[in-house]
Amino acid sequence: MTAITKPSRRKPAAEPENADTPTVASLTSSLQSIGVPGPLAMGGVSIDFIREAASPFLDGYSITGERTALAELLAADEPDESDPLYPRLLLLDERERELRDMETRWKSRNGADEVVKIDEARSMRQLGSLVTEGEDSMTLHTKEGYRLFVGRAKDPQGAYPAIVGGKRIASALRSLWMLTSLDNPYADWALVHHEHTLSLMKDLIEKEIKKGKEELESMRARGLSYGLLVSAEPKSLELGFKSPYGYAIAELMVSYDYFIRLVKTLGRKNLISDDQERIRIREVTRVIRRHFGETARFERWLMRPELRELARADFMPGVVAEGAKRVTAAAGIFGPIPADIFSGRMAPRHSRRRLQLTEQDKKMLLQVSAELAKAEAAGIAESAASAEAVEAEAAQLV
């Protein structure tokens, strides 16, 4: 007896010998070889059923296939017991109960293998969360490095401008990282921008460190060995950051602090002048502070109550009025979101986004992303045309 399937006018194609999915006949034969019957018998009636390779049952019983085949009986308030398919309906009910029991057992064992004792399997729930062994710390030697980390608030008299420090930026990055769990595309954009700029800043510092080391090595080759300046009382700070981005800031801080020590060593040993020392330090410091300001701006606006709930769903057609307002406000503050960021093709290194998108969601996401890409290309073309017009006007004035 063959399995009941949907009628088809076409003759089914022959299954290739090396097919991954077994045919009903081969599956039935394999099951019977280990003692599992093919069609089941219930109340003296032989019952055939639809099978599938991914079935949780040894005989390949397909609950999904049977529910489709028995749709009319399932929809009936009182199924006809004289219907030839009624025994299959009873079998379906039995298999669904078995599946629920299997799922309950699986959950109670935390998914552990059957050879594992039940108390061992349940002990998994008692595992504590991962914590840092010991303390994370950062040691700084220079006042410049320490100031860059702690920042500076605006003084009451207004004589000294505020400085956004590394500690403040680590907190801002954590907030942006948390916003990614809400599927906020502008938070993704802020983190991607930060990662890119952070890489450039690290390269700039490493370049300056390499140049300083080469100057010291040149003197060493001539017979002068100079030691690197260190603090008589360096300060060690506990970190305890709550996001991966905080530790990236700590890496930047110690590299900057080492760069300051190296440049000051060059000045102390008469290898560069006082002006050269100040210029080198000022150029690197300005780049870092400028970037810190950009990141702080992203966090300051995106964490406002009016924008905190911003999500990709707000960009979709038919969105509620509040969502549309959030999109308009964000675009007015930061500009239109890049298409690659919105689509997810360009994503931050660390994210809390854990959405399970349906095929319809993915299709809509790509559609909106394509529209953003067109708008982005049009904006670039308009900017280029405007620049050309300005250059042409300037040329006429010369």
Residue closest to 376 by CA, chosen among 349, 342, 344, 347: 342
Give me the mean pLDDT over the 121-132 stretch: 79
Residue type, 74: L
Q: How crowded is residue 239: how many other Cβ atoms within 10 Å of its Cβ? A: 16
Give me the mean pLDDT over the 373-397 stretch: 52
282 Cα distance to chain centroid: 35
Lowest-confidence segment of 128-137, 220-229, 285-294 by average pLDDT: 128-137
> Could you tell me what percent of the chain has a pLDDT over 90?
52
Q: What are phi and psi of 236, to 5 degrees?
A: -105, 125
Residue predicted with more confidence, 19 or 212? 212
Q: Give the pLDDT score at 360.
A: 61
At 30, the pLDDT band (50, 70, 90 cuts) reads low
190 Cα distance to chain centroid: 13
> Could you tell me what percent of the chain has a pLDDT over 70?
78
Q: Give the pLDDT score at 362.
A: 59
pLDDT of 98 above 60: yes
How far is it between the farthest Cα atoms of the chain? 106
At 27, the pLDDT band (50, 70, 90 cuts) reads very low
Q: How crowded is residue 231: how many other Cβ atoms within 10 Å of its Cβ? A: 15
Give me the mean pLDDT over the 146-153 stretch: 93
Distance in angstroms (rounded) separating the CA atoms of residues 24 and 94: 22
- Note the pLDDT tens digit of each residue in 310-330: 999 898 887 788 999 999 999
At 111, the pLDDT band (50, 70, 90 cuts) reads confident
Residue predicted with more confidence, 239 or 34? 239
Strand 45-47 to 40-42 pairing: antiparallel
Q: What are phi and psi of 139, to 5 degrees?
A: -105, 125
Domain boundaries along the sequence of the chain: 31-120, 139-348
Element (H, E) at 40: strand 40-42
Q: Give the pLDDT score at 355.
A: 67
Q: Which residues contact 60 (CB under 8 A, 6 or more apart)?
A: 27, 31, 51, 52, 53
292, two tokens? 């810190």
Q: What are phi and psi of 140, to 5 degrees?
A: -120, 145
